[in-house]
Amino acid sequence: MESLVVIGQGYVGLPLAQGATHSGLKVTGLDTNPQTVHNLNLGISHVDDISDAELKIMLDAGYSATTDPDTIATADAVVICVPTPLGEAGSPDLGAVEGAVRTVAKHITPGTLVVLESTTYPGTTDDFVRPMLEESGLDLDTQFHLAFSPERIDPGNAHYGLTNTPKVVGGVSEASTLRASEFYSKFVETVVPTRGAKEAETAKLLENTYRHINIALVNEMAKFCHDLDIDLWDVIDAARTKPFGFQAFYPGPGVGGHCIPIDPNYLSYQVRKALGYPFRFVELAEEINNSMPQYVVRRVQDLLNQNAKPLMNAHVLLLGITYKADIADQRESPATPIAELFQGSGTKVSFHDPRVKSWHVNGEELQSQEDLAHAVAQADVTILLQMHSEYDTEHLAAVSNLFFDTRGVTKGRDAHRL
């Protein structure tokens, strides 16, 4: 039985471990957090897409979690799925990647396949990871293989998961591409090999930069369409009836999650570093998308003013604080800067989210309102930030004192849309 060690048991690593376990591989999840490891071995999941019951099935099939790096020595394949946040000045922070790779280098044995799945800038696998592994004294292709394969997990997506989402794979050599492709073919239906690791790294960044820029386009349009008294939501509905040449993107209160607000910056960083000039599309999109929380606050202030209420001391209720609907993940959610801006203006902020019990804003812990109807009645303005399936928005808009819809889901006249 082929053995796999997945380093990092978060939103990327645990679903990967699940898919590999179900395919018959002997999978060990390696994580530096003892509490995470303890909970996983007890069958307690911290990832939205994997329930406790599903984790129990994994455990019964042989999956286990550990903090012991010695497990790498017996692995046929090691996949690195650790965070790559932005550091100072927008540069990628590869600290977790470096730590993982150095750990692998200390324990790797001849014949091991190593794959990096953590999103990063082009060249990381060739120029950053490979030299550290070669310090172990092993030779590429004769004693180990190395590749990059971008994660494509879409949290909360009921249709596409690890198995039926095509897997892009690029090795630092042809032999490494072939070895990695054979490995992923064991539990992914379609494997897409690329020319090399740099192409695989850049493919991931292109996917998310494409979305980042098109979201910025409609966010910019939302602003001037409001000023021109044009219903942008109706415009998009009309445009999307064209059966070719158009893909609908929608405005919102900002972008969230790890991918869209973060990944395009890796590409912009590498272009500036290697070529000395800016990636202007990305930098402009970043500016526009980052301006949306401030725009939401200004629109709410205007609504309050029209109703003879000042923003200061007003009571604002935020509905849905996660970055995506129907999940609990709050990474990079625009709800946080929006709440901070309101608090900075002297506004009283409360929130309701069916998937989040408590929320920290400016060092203050807020508790989700238990009685939604009462919370809406007490708020001067209710703001829909995330469209969780539990929300009956037409009813909420009808019973609110003021209702501001940043997702364009309301149709009646009781709501004000972004």
So which residues are the catalytic ones?
A: 259
Compute how many other C-beta atoms are within 10 angstroms of the C-beta atom of residue 325.
15
8-state DSSP, 139: P
Contacts of 22 (CB under 8 A, 6+ apart): 58, 61, 187
Q: Which two tokens stand for residue 370?
A: 């238990």
Looking from the CA of 240 toward its CB, the CA atoms found within 13 Å total 10
Closest by Cα among 117, 92, 123 to 269:
92
* The two three-digit tokens of residue 47, written as one number: 């990832």
Which 3 state secondary structure label does DSSP give 355? coil
What is the Cα–Cα distance from 73 to 142, expressed in whole angstroms?
17
Task: Please tell me the number of Cα atoms within 13 Å of 299 on its side-chain side.
Answer: 25
Task: Give the amino acid at 18.
Answer: Q
- The residue whose two tokens read 């890796």 is 266
